[in-house]
Amino acid sequence: MNEPLVDNVHAKPRVQSVARAAAILVAVGESESGLTTKEISERVEINRQTAYHLIHTLTGAGLLTRNERGLYVLGLRVGTLAEGFRRHLAPPERLAAFVRRIASETGETAYAAGWVEGEIVTLSVVRGQNAVQASAVPQGLAADGHARASGKLLLAYATPGVRNDYFDHHPLTSRTPYTITSRDRLEGEFDEIRRLGYATDREEFTLGLCCLAVPLDDGGAPYTFGVSAPAERFTTSFNVYLDIMNHAAGLATGRTKDEG
């Protein structure tokens, strides 16, 4: 498959004040309910006076605001960025249509994921209709790709250079007792993924939740389809899910004709 464009993804920012302002927005966005000036200063590793001036600028731009507890939270204008992000990140409608089809036929939450500028990103999500649902798969950056079926599959079919770059900047965090945190073990699993033609996450990212991912174009396209389901139902219906997803992947890439 073609290597993602990663040349400048991790390059050092050229304008320090912009980089610091961006780091503040990320820190606030990652917090549970907002941050104080002191907390922002500590997390971004800048002095209190610099933090104050940058916060004041971001507040004036509508990107930060203070809540009733006096904590800085993301401002309303971030909503414009978030909506634009979803719009710009959307996969081709042809892929989104097959995500809807997989969700309808499996009854489970289905999604498409892919490489975007050297990162593993969830591009489209459709909730299933089964009474008991797995927790939603959020659209956007898919953190801890090594613990996700979609992430493992994309890494398995990536070139060694892309994998090395990804692991250089993404620690092998232990999400659950089942998460693989050894690079050697992951490389062995990548071999198995390429042999089988699919990847699984059996409670490696979240306890009680399992996922299945299949490649498009036999791994030649930088996308994957996935489903998430409660662990018990996942085990019982695994072969059904796999058949439905492989069929959808074949239809999406023109390798299979739609008999319906």
Q: What is the pLDDT of residues 178-225, one digit of tens each?
A: 999 999 999 999 999 999 999 999 999 999 999 999 999 889 888 999
Structure tokens at 128: 């299933």
Instruction: Report which DSSP code applies to 47.
Output: -
pLDDT, tens only, 22-78: 999 989 988 889 999 999 999 999 999 999 999 999 999 999 999 999 999 999 988
* Residues 80-132: tens digit of each pLDDT: 877 676 666 555 667 889 999 999 999 999 999 998 888 899 888 898 887 55
pLDDT at 207: 94
161 pLDDT above the threshold of 70: yes
Q: Does the structural domain 90-252 have CATH classification 3.40.50.10800? A: no
Q: Where are the domains of the chain?
A: 16-83, 90-252
What pLDDT, on a 0 to 100 scale, did the predictor assign at position 89? Answer: 55
Three-state secondary structure call for residue 7: coil
What is residue 75's predicted lDDT score, i.e. its pLDDT? Answer: 92
C-alpha dihedral sign at 72, 76, 78, 79 = positive
Tokens at residue 86, please? 């979803």
Say what the pLDDT of residue 40 is. Answer: 95
| C-alpha distances out from residue 98 to 60, 69, 82, 142, Å | 43, 44, 24, 20
* pLDDT for residue 136 is more than 60: no
Report how far residue 200's alpha carbon sits from residue 194's, in angstroms, rounded to the nearest whole number.
12
Closest among 123, 144, 163, 225 to 3, alpha carbons compared: 163
Residue 252 above 60 pLDDT?
yes
pTM metric for this prediction: 0.67
State the pLDDT at residue 141.
72
Residue 144: what pLDDT? Answer: 92
User: Domain spanning 16-83: which CATH class is it, in words?
Assistant: mainly alpha
What is the average pLDDT across 2-11?
Answer: 38
The pairing of beta strand 140-141 with beta strand 199-202: unpaired
How many other C-beta atoms lie within 10 A of the C-beta of residue 237? 18
